[in-house]
Amino acid sequence: MEILATYGSTLIIIAAVFGFVMAWGIGANDVANAMGTSVGSNAITIKQAIIIAMIFEFAGAYLAGGAVTNTVRKGIIDSGAFTNTPELLVFGMIAALLAAGTWLLIASYNGWPVSTTHSIIGAIIGFAAVGVGTEAVAWGKVSGIIGSWIITPAISGVFAYFIFVSAQKLIFENENPLEAAKRYVPGYMFLAGFMMALVTIKKGLKHIGLEMSSVEGYVWAVSIGLVVAIVGKIIISRLKTDPKADRQMHYTNVEKVFAVLMVITACCMAFAHGSNDVANAIGPLAAVVSVVHNHGEISAKAELAWWILPLGGLGIVAGLAIFGHRVIATIGKGITHLTPSRGFAAELAAATTVVVASGTGLPISTTQTLVGAVLGVGMARGIAALNLGVVRSIVVSWVVTLPAGAALSIVFYYILLAIFN
């Protein structure tokens, strides 16, 4: 108790710094995955990707980032175990932030596609297991996370498969694919806008103090979707199509229409990523702040301090702006044959999965959903070739990340104990 009273503001500052570093790492690394397909299919440039990501990552974090925060903060460990020793929870959360941030750094340096979500969860489990005992860990939740390694990619893969197949049926098999694309693509735009708006309204707006009934919510979501679709339609109708570029099927021009859609899915993806992954950085930070402010009392439902969400959002954007450029640039050149229509199916599916999962409070990883979505499009025979070796290495990294985060956080936890005790 005295420790919290004496060092309270110091601990908050340390936690805030580490939280920011963590968010920075998320922005710098994960964004390559979230935005990469858009850049890879040449639908948007790197510069546009960064601007889109900045706006929508921040919006996602701020408007819809709250629900997941709770899960990470309270779901994984039983906070009741810390009632008598709240300082241990504070140290632990700081250690967890530092551990996850460090792991992210190591992994990024080596080019491993780790899940930021799982690194923070692993880290929290690690210190909880040594700080209080293994009984403090909600193992049921952990097994749920392990289950999500299979379920999330599967859901996202199925979404991607059906989105791609529907595009094939409606557009590519049509008598006149270009006309069909102009007709149906606004429909996809509506879906993207609707889905994004719905989750923001239903799950996110509470955090900024707006409440509305579910009917109101649906009306708003539908109208936002319509606005997105109408704006999209206008852009598409102004699109210059090149009559010389068509062979038999006009696909070059169809892809141009999809490129417009790709901009919207890129926005969705950034939004979904922000809403889900900002929690990784701010969850532990919020826990620290709430314990210190309440003088060691671990309340059942802590208010999120006003500056925490923006801090996480800013961290992501900063990491993105400073480091993301490099990451995306290497990607833009590396891929063969990812057209806007294929990338679109993968991204919309991934974004939908993340946003829906974010709404249910399940801490899934953007990496997982994207892998699943890309595989789904591949299964629909849309992507020319997939490297299954990389799929294997990604899955291995999911498994390794939990113990790695745990081990690091145990080390940092003992170091912090040694310093402050």
Query: Distance between CA 23 and CA 39 in Å, rounded?
Result: 22
Query: Distance between CA 232 and CA 99 in Å, rounded?
Result: 43
Q: Interface with another protein by CB under 8 A: which range of 36-44, 118-126, 181-189, 224-232?
A: 36-44
Q: Interface with another protein by CB under 8 A: which range of 11-19, 83-91, 188-196, 365-373?
A: 365-373
* Residue 66 · residue 345 · CB < 8 Å: no
**Contact string (CB under 8 A) for another protein, positions 39-58, x = contact:** -x------------------
- DSSP codes of every residue in 263-297: HHHHHHHHHHHHHHHHHHHHHHHHHHHHHHHTTT-
Query: Is 241 a binder of another protein (CB under 8 A)?
Result: no
Query: Is 32 a binder of another protein (CB under 8 A)?
Result: yes
Q: Which residue lies nearer to another protein by CB, 23 or 394?
A: 394
**Contact string (CB under 8 A) for another protein, positions 100-129, x = contact:** --------xx-xxx----------------
Query: Is 399 a binder of another protein (CB under 8 A)?
Result: no
Out of 138, 230, 305, 335, name the contact with another protein by CB under 8 A.
335
Q: How far is the CB of 108 from another protein (least distance, A)?
A: 6
Beta-carbon contacts of residue 172 (< 8 Å; ≥ 6 apart): 249, 251, 254, 341
Query: Distance between CA 331 and CA 39 in Å, rounded?
Result: 8
Query: Is 389 a binder of another protein (CB under 8 A)?
Result: yes
Query: Is 24 a binder of another protein (CB under 8 A)?
Result: no
**Contact string (CB under 8 A) for another protein, positions 199-238, x = contact:** ----------------------------------------
Out of 150, 390, 399, 415, name the contact with another protein by CB under 8 A.
390
Q: Interface with another protein by CB under 8 A: which range of 27-35, 86-94, 270-278, 351-359?
A: 27-35
* Residue 79 · residue 92 · CB < 8 Å: no
Query: Is 316 a binder of another protein (CB under 8 A)?
Result: no
Residue 90 tokens read as 């504070």
* Residue 157 · residue 204 · CB < 8 Å: no
Closest to 60 (Cα-Cα) out of 305, 282, 332:
282
Q: How far is CA 189 from CA 231, 268, 378, in A?
A: 9, 10, 22
Query: Is 36 a binder of another protein (CB under 8 A)?
Result: yes
The angle at the Cα of 309, spanning 37 to 94, to the nearest 5 degrees, equals 100
- 251-293 and 2-40 helices, crossing angle to 10°: 180
Query: Distance between CA 372 and CA 381 in Å, rounded?
Result: 14
Out of 16, 20, 21, 29, name the contact with another protein by CB under 8 A.
29
Query: Is 276 a binder of another protein (CB under 8 A)?
Result: no
Query: Is 152 a binder of another protein (CB under 8 A)?
Result: no
The length of the chain is 421
CA 75 to chain CA centroid, Å, is 19
Query: Is 244 a binder of another protein (CB under 8 A)?
Result: no
Query: Is 72 a binder of another protein (CB under 8 A)?
Result: no
Query: Is 289 a binder of another protein (CB under 8 A)?
Result: no
**Contact string (CB under 8 A) for another protein, positions 158-177, x = contact:** ------xx--x---xx-x--
Q: Residue 384: helix, strand or coil by DSSP?
A: coil
The amino acid occupying position 358 is S
Q: How far is CA 319 from CA 28, 115, 177, in A?
A: 4, 16, 41
Beta-carbon contacts of residue 278 (< 8 Å; ≥ 6 apart): 23, 26, 57, 60, 61, 65, 309, 312, 313, 316
Q: How far is the CB of 169 from another protein (least distance, A)?
A: 8
Q: Interface with another protein by CB under 8 A: which range of 48-56, 214-222, 330-338, 351-359?
A: 330-338
Q: Which residues does residue 137 pair with via DSSP β-bridges, in sequence order? A: 77
Query: Is 330 a binder of another protein (CB under 8 A)?
Result: yes
Out of 327, 356, 404, 410, name the contact with another protein by CB under 8 A.
327
Q: Interface with another protein by CB under 8 A: which range of 75-83, 227-235, 288-296, 377-385?
A: 377-385
Task: Report the interface residues with another protein, using CB under 8 A.
Answer: 29, 32-33, 36-37, 40, 108-109, 111-113, 164-165, 168, 172-173, 175, 247-249, 251, 326-327, 330-331, 334-339, 341, 367, 370-371, 374, 378, 380-394
